[in-house]
Amino acid sequence: MPRYAVTGGAGFIGSHLVDRLLEQGHKVVAVDNLLTGSLNNVGHLKSESNFELIQFDLSQGFPNISEVQGIFHLASPASPKDFVPLSIEILRVGSLGTFHAIEYALEKNAWFLMASTSEVYGDPNVHPQPEDYLGNVNPVGVRGVYDEAKRFSEAITMGYHRKRKLQTSIVRIFNTYGPRMRPNDGRVIPNFISQALKGEAVTIYGNGTQTRSFCYVNDLVSGLMKFLEKKPVSPINLGNSNEISVRKIAELIVGLTSSKSELIEKPLPEGDPRQRCPDLTRAKEILGWMPQTNLEVGLQKTIDYFRAIH
C-alpha cells in the first residue's frame, strides 16, 4: 500500500487531500506544525489505522517517514491576514521547509509535488493567466513574502528536477473555498459568510468591481489526484475560470444565508489584485481535469459548515 506525506495536512486543503488519499486506499502521514492548521480538521481520522499526524516544523528539518512514495508539499500560511504577523514563518517554510521536504523526497526517491499559487502572477497584466505568464509581483509589498516564497519554492523544485533528476510537479492553486476554512481566515468567502451569519455589515474592500474565480475544494482535490496519476513536470493551474466580482459574491452570500447584512466599502488593501482567473488549457489537456461544482452549491455547503461551527 503506497504511503504519501502531506505537509500542511491539518490545513484547509491539506486535510481534504488526506481524506481523498485515504478513501483511495493509500497510507497517509500528515506533517503540520499547527500554526494555521487545526486538529479539528483531522479529528475524524483518530481511529484510522492508515493515517498518522506528525506535529513538526519543516523549517527545522523533515520527520523520518519510511517508505514514502510521494510528498505533497502544501505547508504554508496562505491568508492575506497572515502576510504581516506570520511573514517570517511564511518565508522560512517557503525556503528552508521546501528544501527539507524536497531533500527527503530525493533521499526516498519519491515524487514531489510543490503546491504553488496564483499569487506568483501578482497583479496580472495578462488575463486570464496562463502558466507561461511570468507575472507582475512586487517583492517588497505586503504580499511579497508569500508571492516570493512560492516563486522561490518553484525554483527549488525545478532545480532539483534538472540537476538531481527528481520526479517533480508544480500546481498553481487559485482561489479555493469550502468547509474547514478558518472563520477568521481573512479571505473573501469566509469573511462574507461569517459576517452574514452574524448579521454584521459585509465588508467589501474597494468598490467590489475586482474579480476572482472560486474553485470548490473537492474539485481542487480531484485535480491534485490527477497530478498523482499523471505526474506532469510543467506548472499547471488549478482553479475555476468562471469569474465573478467581489460585490456579486457578497450579494450571493447574503442571499444564501438569508441575512439582513448591509454591504459597506472600505479602502482596498495594498497590492490587492484587480482580477484573478486561471487559464485552464493545460489542466484540461494534460490532466483531463475541469472543475465540476456549481458556485451556489459549493457556497451552500460552505455556509452549512460555518453555521455548524458558529
* Ramachandran class of 9: left when φ > 0, alpha when ψ lies in -120 to 50, beta otherwise: alpha
Q: How far is CA 8 from CA 127, 178, 219, 307, in A?
A: 30, 17, 19, 25
Buried b vs exposed e over 5-19: b needs ≥16 C-beta within 10 Å?
Answer: bbbbbbbbbbbbbbb
Residue 204: closest CA among 280, 274, 268: 268
Give yes or no for a contact between 283 and 224, defined as CB atoms under 8 angstroms apart.
Answer: no
Query: Roughly what angle, to the nearest 10 degrees, separates helices 188-198 and 295-309?
Result: 60
Cell numbers linked to 278: 486561471
Give the whole-angstrom CA distance, residue 30 versus residue 6: 5
Active site residue 104: no
If you ran DSSP here, which 8-state letter would residue 59 be given? G
Q: How far apart are the first and last CA of the chain?
A: 39
Provide the residue type at 202 as one letter.
Answer: V
Cis peptide before 80 (omega within 30 of 0): no
What SS3 class is residue 228? helix
Q: Which of 146, 160, 177, 216 is catalytic?
A: 146
User: Which residue numbers are catalytic?
Assistant: 146
